[in-house]
């Protein structure tokens, strides 16, 4: 397979993540900014998160809430005070960059630009999006539409303070694009390997697509496959979710940490791998309320400490 240009790695990932003295996990969760970004930072502190993911607008795709300079200034101060090391936006699930339907496609293109501009305004490190669903016909047509939707925002990603745009790995259910790493590679190739377009891995999605976290050899194969397909430097974030369904089921249903099919053994293998452990981790597990994330974050950190004690 031919080589691909490597982008810079502004996440500043260092250390091999193995043995005593390794850096602490960068781990957080998806929190609401409906009451303001400073309130989201307060909640991150309450659940002991040092990373945060948010929707730039209603997840069903409604209008963005206005964020004035005063709120932004308070947010920047609070982010620093509570020690948030990574902030990422999730573009709404209703956005379909591969849609063959004109109205849905134009909506997706508009939201993509607006949400990337919002990310820059609030200093987010990245924005992650599902690549999209081609709905019918040839998957290659969907990939071409994704490329055409992203191309107009590439100049925005080159501006000072711009976020990364991350394509999420998917479970491969139905007509969604991204269940195969080769599909993400095809998008990046079509875009000409831009410096700030990368990938967000998702543990549940990859498990559903056939990568078994419970098998150390499969975890190593995943890392090698990602490196060959897109270049590891483009992997900037990791969604950490257990799975309600077995490996290879191609069904996307998240479960609480350690309570699904991936289980303790699978996440232990993830944390034992230096490259995976170094990624910012964002939880999207099912919860009744945001304070429940404290238990999920604690579970992951306790597992990491237990593994360190074994070495």
How do the domains of the chain map onto residue ranges?
A: 27-310
Mean pLDDT of 28-47: 98
Which of 48-62, 187-201, 238-252 has the lowest average pLDDT?
A: 48-62
Question: Cα–Cα distance between 193 and 181 in angstroms, integer?
Answer: 15
Angle at 165 (CA atoms; ends 236, 133), nearest 5 degrees: 110
**What tens digit of pLDDT does each residue of 93-110 get?**
999 999 999 999 999 999
202 annotated to a ligand binding site: yes
16 annotated to a ligand binding site: no
Which of 44-48, 60-64, 228-232, 235-239 has the lowest average pLDDT?
A: 60-64
Question: Cα–Cα distance between 141 and 291 in angstroms, integer?
Answer: 42
**What tens digit of pLDDT does each residue of 116-161 get?**
999 999 999 999 999 999 998 889 999 999 999 999 999 999 999 9
Question: Cα–Cα distance between 119 and 232 in angstroms, integer?
Answer: 23
CATH of domain 27-310: 3.20.20.150
239 annotated to a ligand binding site: yes
Where residue 8 falls among pLDDT bands split at 50, 70, 90?
A: low
Q: What is the pTM for the complete model shown?
A: 0.94
Where residue 40 falls among pLDDT bands split at 50, 70, 90?
A: very high
Q: How many helices (H) and strands (E) does the chain have?
A: 11, 12
**What tens digit of pLDDT does each residue of 211-253 get?**
999 999 999 999 999 999 999 999 999 999 999 999 999 999 9
- The pLDDT value recorded for residue 12 is 46
- The pLDDT value recorded for residue 62 is 81
**What tens digit of pLDDT does each residue of 274-306 get?**
999 999 999 999 999 999 999 999 999 999 999
Q: In the predicted model, what is the mean pLDDT of the chain?
A: 93
42 annotated to a ligand binding site: no
- The pLDDT value recorded for residue 57 is 93
Where residue 22 falls among pLDDT bands split at 50, 70, 90?
A: confident
30 annotated to a ligand binding site: no
- The pLDDT value recorded for residue 16 is 37
- Long-range pairs, 253-256, Cβ under 8 A, ≥24: 253/204, 254/204, 254/284, 254/285, 254/286, 255/204, 255/285, 255/286, 256/285, 256/286, 256/296
- The pLDDT value recorded for residue 174 is 87
Q: What percent of the chain has pLDDT over 90?
A: 88
What sign has the CA pseudo-torsion 251, 34, 110, 236? negative
- The pLDDT value recorded for residue 58 is 84
284 annotated to a ligand binding site: yes
- The pLDDT value recorded for residue 7 is 67
252 annotated to a ligand binding site: yes
73 annotated to a ligand binding site: no
């Amino acid at each position: 397979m031919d080589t691909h240009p490597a982008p810079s790695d502004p996440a500043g990932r260092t250390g091999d993540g193995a043995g005593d003295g390794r850096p602490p996990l960068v781990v957080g969760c998806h929190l609401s900014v409906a009451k303001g970004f400073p309130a989201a930072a307060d909640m991150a502190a309450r659940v002991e998160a040092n990373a945060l993911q948010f929707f730039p607008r209603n997840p069903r795709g409604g209008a963005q809430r206005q964020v004035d300079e005063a709120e932004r200034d308070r947010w920047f101060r609070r982010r620093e005070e509570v020690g948030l090391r990574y902030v990422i936006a999730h573009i709404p699930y209703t956005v379909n960059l591969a849609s063959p339907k004109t109205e849905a496609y134009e909506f997706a293109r508009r939201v993509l630009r607006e949400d990337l501009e919002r990310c820059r305004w609030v200093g987010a490190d990245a924005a992650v999006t599902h690549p999209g669903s081609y709905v019918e016909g040839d998957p290659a047509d969907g990939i071409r539409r994704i490329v055409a939707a992203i191309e107009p925002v590439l100049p925005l990603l080159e501006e000072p303070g711009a976020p990364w745009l991350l394509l999420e790995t998917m479970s491969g259910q139905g007509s969604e694009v991204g269940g195969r790493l080769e599909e993400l590679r095809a998008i990046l190739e079509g875009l000409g390997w831009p410096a700030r377009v990368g990938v967000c891995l998702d543990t549940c999605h990859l498990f559903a697509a056939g990568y078994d976290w419970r098998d150390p050899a499969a975890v190593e194969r995943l890392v090698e496959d990602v490196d060959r397909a897109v270049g590891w430097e483009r992997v900037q974030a990791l969604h950490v979710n257990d799975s309600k369904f077995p490996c290879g089921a191609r069904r996307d249903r998240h479960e609480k940490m350690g309570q699904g099919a991936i289980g303790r053994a699978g996440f232990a293998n993830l944390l034992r791998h230096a490259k995976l452990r170094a990624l910012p981790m964002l939880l999207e597990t099912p919860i009744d309320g945001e304070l429940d994330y404290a238990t999920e974050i604690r579970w992951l950190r306790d597992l990491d400490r237990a593994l360190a004690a074994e070495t």
